[in-house]
């Protein structure tokens, strides 16, 4: 890996393609979670890998390359979504609607079904759900990253959970023939 990175730092296109081919499948999954379509995710990947190759000389710890690339993909997706988030303003829900004691049983769902459900969420909910539930950011960190209030982050996450629970219920009704 060190040799591949050294060649990438020199601008070797064969090495860059090798690095791209090595990481694009995992990073595509990340990009898909932050996009509505495969085409949009592909755009995020292309833009992110341009940033990777422009900044690869800043990478100091070779063993942390996957996390470094993932952060670039997430930040690229957030930047692309930032303008959409302003088109669909987020609002805080009242406290009563924020909590749900129901746990979602997702064990019966295939990855592609879950990804489709996440992609169907409104943009604000989708981004915050990904950042909080999947990436592990705190609501404080999300608020700072997206320049929103902590309450907005929490309410959008709650709304995302509520919408996902409804999608799960609907899917189970269809799958078990109760519709």
Give span(s): CATH 1.10.1740.10, the chain.
2-81
Residues 69-115 have pLDDT tens digits of: 999 999 999 988 776 554 444 444 444 344 444 455 555 567 888 88
pTM: 0.76
Q: What is residue 109's predicted lDDT score, i.e. its pLDDT?
A: 63
Ranges of H-type helices in the chain: 2-9, 13-33, 38-55, 65-87, 111-120, 123-129, 139-146, 150-175
Q: Which pLDDT belongs to residue 147?
A: 87
User: Residue 46: helix, strand or coil by DSSP?
Assistant: helix
Greatest pairwise CA separation for the chain in angstroms: 60
Q: Tell me if the domain spanning 95-175 has CATH number 3.10.20.30.
A: no
- CATH 1.10.10.10 residue ranges for the chain: 95-175
CATH topology of domain 2-81: Rna Polymerase Sigma Factor; Chain: A (1.10.1740)
């Amino acid at each position: 890996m060190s040799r591949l990175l050294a060649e990438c730092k020199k601008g070797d296109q064969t090495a860059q393609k090798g690095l791209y081919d090595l990481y694009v499948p995992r990073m595509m999954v990340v990009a898909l979670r932050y996009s509505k379509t495969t085409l949009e995710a592909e755009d995020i990947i292309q833009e992110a890998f341009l940033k990777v190759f422009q900044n690869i000389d800043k990478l100091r710890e070779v063993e942390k390359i996957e996390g470094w690339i993932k952060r670039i993909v997430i930040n690229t997706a957030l930047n692309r979504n930032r303008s959409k988030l302003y088109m669909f303003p987020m609002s805080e829900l009242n406290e009563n609607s924020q909590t749900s004691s129901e746990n979602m049983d997702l064990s019966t769902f295939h990855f592609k079904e879950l990804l489709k459900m996440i992609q169907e969420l409104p943009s604000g909910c989708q981004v915050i759900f990904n950042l909080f539930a999947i990436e592990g950011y705190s609501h404080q960190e999300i608020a700072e990253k997206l320049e929103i209030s902590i309450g907005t982050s929490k309410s959008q996450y709650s709304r995302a959970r509520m919408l996902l629970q409804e999608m799960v219920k609907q899917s189970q009704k269809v799958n078990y023939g109760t519709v």
